[in-house]
Structure 1
Amino acid sequence: MTHLRYGFRTFLLELLMVAAGLAFLFPVYALVTLSLKSSKQIASAPLSPPTSPTMGNFSRAWSAAGLGSALVNSTVITIASLICLIAIGSFAAYFLARCASRLGFTLYVLFLLGIVLPFQLGMIPLFKLVDQLGLLGTYQGMIVFYTGIQLPFTIFLYTGFIRALPRDYANAALIDGATHLQAFTRVVFPLLRPITGTVLILNAVFIWNDFFTPLLYLGGSARETVPVRVFAFVGQYVSDYGLVFAGLVLAALPILAVFLVLQRYVIRGFASGLKG
């Protein structure tokens, strides 16, 4: 049995990894530290650990920024968009992965083009279309927008994973008399749990943190999401940095909790999908 030797090269690699970890953790440390300090403490020693941390910034930020309604708006839009993406994307990917015709290949290539082409190219026509349909400032407009924008990426992930699955499970169900819809919903979809977790977390992070689209479609309405509300809050209280950073922490906590719960599915889903 060969034993790996711990040499100078391994030591340098460990130092590099530690430095990379510290670089990623520093913004988190700064965000939390500043949110626990008063304006006077921030002015005197901004990055030092808080000697007398205060939780009052969070309650003040919650009420001043109106984060309660913004969290409800972001949650509704994110959850509804994820449901649409999973329902449509998984079933479309099942057809593309199992269809050996030119039509299936052509559709798959078109979806891949949807990943490559930036949606900002069609932002003005999309805005005019949403305005003409009367969907500006509504949940429905944002849900349809995010479903359409993220569908190519979702189908790409699902297709790679389904291609790596054995066909025997679905074929056995079809032989027993099940339809393709029944075979997918009862046999194939339960096997897609790892990639579904990946789809959930990646799309949820994008939708929750998106700022430009809600600013354009929801700005000034009662449906403003968390990033838009925090942006207006930061501009209003830019001199009170403790309040500002407390608002940023409150805005980041929900999606951070979702990521911590589903993080194990991300790498597993990517690794399984890349095999296909």
Structure 2
Amino acid sequence: MSSEGLQTQSSGEISVSKRTKTKNKQRWVDRFQVLFLSVLAILILLPIFYMISMSFRTRREIMMDPLGLPSSLLIENYQKVAEAMNYGTSIFNTIFITASVIVLVSILSSLAAYPLARIRHKLSTWLYILLTLGLVIPPFAGLTPLYLFMRDLGLLNSYLGLIIAYTTLNLPLGVFFYTSFMKSVPIELEEAARLDGASYLKTYWYVVLPLLRPITGTLGLFITLTVWNDIVYPLLFVTDDSKYTIMVAVVRFLGTYSIDPTQLFPAAVLASAPLLILFMLLQKQVVSGITAGAVK
């Protein structure tokens, strides 16, 4: 065999060896990723499983074995808690306020983000920075002036007052989301619409707005989590029990010196179940919204 043939065979064997090593390395990386994600999923699911398990147990079972499984599914816990926390009214209040805030924030912040993303000027940059400063300012810093504003307008103890408060809180996030996304949308689509005689408003409504659906779903989830988990604004701006949100109803089961687990855990399950269901239904939209704008 010639020297050239030996060199070719040797280089081929080296190439095969490198590919084999690369495949083995990638296989170990994949296994590690699967193991890591499995452990992470278990750590996330364990508290949820524990909460649901505890919600079906009696006080005696919990005292005897805090980490045990329920001997039977005690539905009475849920019946008593749902009646005590006025579950139907609390859920309605939370859904109504959340939906109203999502609609208002989506409309107002997208209208503000459209010129900020399209007009290339120093003033636009400064306005964008000014509007998004709300993301770094703690919400508690504006509670006092916001309360005085609501009091002067007579909006305390009303749905409208809570909706305005949450809309104000989430507007900077909406402007940030929409401006970042609109900058990744090709401007040629809008130019084609204007060549066809469409005004800026029609271009926004018929061309830009439909493209915002993925990012609107993600923004809506963030707003939902903010409104759903908050207890400060309802306790500050509302005094009527019939207008409280679901999380305020849950907090009421926290005693000053003791906690009844047969009430607290079912209340926590009832409060978090709608959020879990919503996330499972909108999971694809949320993921597409998070990745939207990453590639032009």
Length-normalised TM-score, structure 1: 0.92
Q: What are the Cα deviations for residues 19-55 of structure 1, in whole angstroms up to 9, with x where unaligned?
A: 3222211210111011111112212222222231222
1:147-166 matches, within 5 Å, as 147-166=167-186
Q: Distance between the aligned counterparts of 1:274 and 1:10, measured in 2?
A: 24
Give the CA deviation at 1:198.
0.5
Q: Pick from 130, 133, 146: which aligns with 2:153?
A: 133
Q: Distance between the aligned counterparts of 2:63 and 2:26, measured in 1?
A: 45
Please name the residue that 2:4 is paired with: none
Amino acid at match of 1:109: I
Q: Pick from 204, 217, 230: which aligns with 1:210?
A: 230
Please name the residue that 2:121 is paired with: 101
Number of aligned positions between the proteins: 276
Please name the residue that 2:198 is paired with: 178
Secondary structure of the residue aligned to 2:212 is helix
Give the CA deviation at 1:190.
0.9
Query: Is structure 2 residue 101 aligned with structure 1 residue 118?
Result: no
Q: What are the Cα deviations for residues 63-93 of structure 1, in whole angstroms up to 9, with x where unaligned?
A: 0111211111111111111110111111211
Q: Distance between the aligned counterparts of 2:274 and 2:26, measured in 1?
A: 41
Structure whose alpha-carbon radius of gyration is higher: 2
Would the alpha carbon gap of residues 236 and 38 (structure 1) be closer, same or farther in structure 2, given more than 3 Å must change? farther
Q: What are the Cα deviations for residues 248-272 of structure 1, in whole angstroms up to 9, with x where unaligned?
A: 1111112222222222222322222
Q: Distance between the aligned counterparts of 2:29 and 2:206, measured in 1?
A: 51
Query: Is structure 2 residue 23 aligned with structure 1 residue 3?
Result: yes
Q: Distance between the aligned counterparts of 1:171 and 1:73, measured in 2?
A: 43
Which range is displaced more, 39-48 or 231-240?
231-240
Amino acid at match of 1:125: P
Please name the residue that 1:30 is paired with: 50
Amino acid at match of 2:213: R
Secondary structure of the residue aligned to 2:183 is helix
Structure 1 gap ranges (5+): none
Give the CA deviation at 1:236.
8.7
Give the CA deviation at 1:244.
1.7
Structure 2 gap ranges (5+): 1-18
Relative CO higher for 1 or 2, CA cutoff 8 Å, sep ≥ 6?
1
Q: Distance between the aligned counterparts of 2:181 and 2:121, measured in 1?
A: 19
Q: Distance between the aligned counterparts of 2:34 and 2:212, measured in 1?
A: 35
Contact kept in structure 1, 2:185 and 2:293, CA below 8 Å: no
Give the RMSD, CA atoms, in angstroms. Answer: 2.2
Contact kept in structure 1, 2:253 and 2:263, CA below 8 Å: no
Contact kept in structure 1, 2:234 and 2:245, CA below 8 Å: yes
Please name the residue that 2:279 is paired with: 259
Contact kept in structure 2, 1:96 and 1:105, CA below 8 Å: yes
